[in-house]
Amino acid sequence: MSDLTHYIGGARVAGTSGRFADVYNPATGEVQSRVPLASAEEMDHAVQAAAAAQPAWAAVNPQRRARVMMKFVTLLNRDMDKLAEALSREHGKTLPDAAGDVQRGLEVVEYCIGAPQMLKGEFTDSAGPGIDMYSMRQPLGVCAGITPFNFPAMIPMWMFAPAIACGNAFILKPSERDPSVPLMLAELMEEAGLPKGILQVVNGDKAAVDAILDHPVIQSIGFVGSTPIAEYIYGRGCSNGKRVQCFGGAKNHMIIMPDADMDQAADALVGAGYGAAGERCMAISVAVPVGNDTADRLIAKLIPRIEKLKVGPYTAGKDVDYGPVVTAAAKQNILRLVQAGVDQGAKLVIDGRNFALQGYEDGFFVGPHLFDHVTADMDIYKKEIFGPVLSTVRAQSYEEALGLAMSHEYGNGTAIFTRDGDAARDFANRVNVGMIGINVPIPVPLAYHTFGGWKKSAFGDLNQHGPDSFKFYTRTKTITSRWPSGIKEGAALNFRPME
């Protein structure tokens, strides 16, 4: 068993707090390494190193900063298999899913190559006699990101790539459950030409998070995780005068209209509901067929597809559909909520509670579950399960289905499957959810649009990646300049309007 490190000042640095967390192989249940948990003093050391390096990096012109991103993209493609294997080993994802994790982060890095365009200011010539006005976007200084276990490559890159392209230094506090890939990304960024100290990786738990929230040098914080922690980070960070964006939980609904292609809808639900063992904030966890006939047809299509799912370790090959969940505690929470669903009267159509994989009995595998006749007062409907569990809530009308998505406290993503353009257009216009799919089950926008939910799924007024990221990681400064010509007329003591 090996000890992992932090990454500070351009080098891997051993922890000094004396505290560690175990990093498991989710497929076997074995501890494969330990990760150090930073103290406030260690966090301060990383922040001071970042603050010392940042002014010189901010002075580098945006085009040269973009060239670092270009090289980083090349290195990500070079090391794709190595990164995916390390990610699968600690998270449990299949290798294709792990490579997709890296790829979706890489696409945001590609977008950040356009930093020179995104950082251009505005200019007004002759706003008044001899007066010009212009604005410039300037970096914040030292920024920080607190990222979750379920996307250990993608979400860190969603944060640090635009922050660094804008001229900031960045402190990354990744999940302590799968920290190896973030450390590898920091090394690749420096291989791409990033100066030492601009990207630091500091591993830790709540002590490290609180040190970020309270540190006076850190100017902004990004977070992705559960809603209770998002609320805590947003409140404490904002009260300390920081710019904060937090993305929390989800309960994503997919409405299936009677006219939908039922095979297409069933395939979409299986992929969106069970991919990555359901450990996605954009997973579809609630199917809402409209009408009992639609529901019966949908369930009949889902059952054989779900029963054919292959669950196993990433080492079993690329035909594995999904792997284990990340920890034993996550597995127990999923099974507890499944039992609550049974106890509260939902019909468990497919029961994965007794799933066992020969040779991996100690792994954190959870079989697929399918519920029917779920109602809005049940725990499996109200709470984010974050596991391979799909709940079916039967609606008797389009308005009832729309109302379910709109009345839920979470508003991350939703989808509708239909052949009716008018219904799709009405749904997209009316539903109070941040990301909408029309015959698309997981509507994660591409890198040049922005990602963000509504309601209790997001806190803050700017989304992740896309144009919003360049606004979040910069401040706008506006300059009014005057170069008068001719003989000076003396001081003007009154406030004079523009002529």
Tell me which residues are annotated as active site. 281
Token pair recorded at residue 86: 């390390």
- CA separation for the pair 230, 247 (Å, rounded): 6
The DSSP line for 410-460 is: EESEEEEE-S-HHHHHHHHHH---SEEEES-SS-PPPTTS-B--EETTEES
Q: Return the closest-CA partner of residue 350 out of 297, 303, 391.
A: 303
Check if the beta carbon of residue 233 is closer than 8 Å to that of residue 246.
yes
Check if the beta carbon of residue 171 is closer than 8 Å to that of residue 202.
yes
Helix (H) or strand (E) holding 23: strand 20-25
Gyration radius of the chain over CA positions: 25
Check if the beta carbon of residue 50 is closer than 8 Å to that of residue 197.
yes
Check if the beta carbon of residue 35 is closer than 8 Å to that of residue 176.
yes
- CA separation for the pair 60, 10 (Å, rounded): 19
206 contacts: CB under 8 Å, gap ≥ 6:
none
- CA separation for the pair 484, 130 (Å, rounded): 6
Helix (H) or strand (E) holding 350: strand 347-350
Longest dimension (CA), the chain: 92
Check if the beta carbon of residue 143 is closer than 8 Å to that of residue 171.
yes
Looking at residue 152, the DSSP 8-state letter turns out to be T
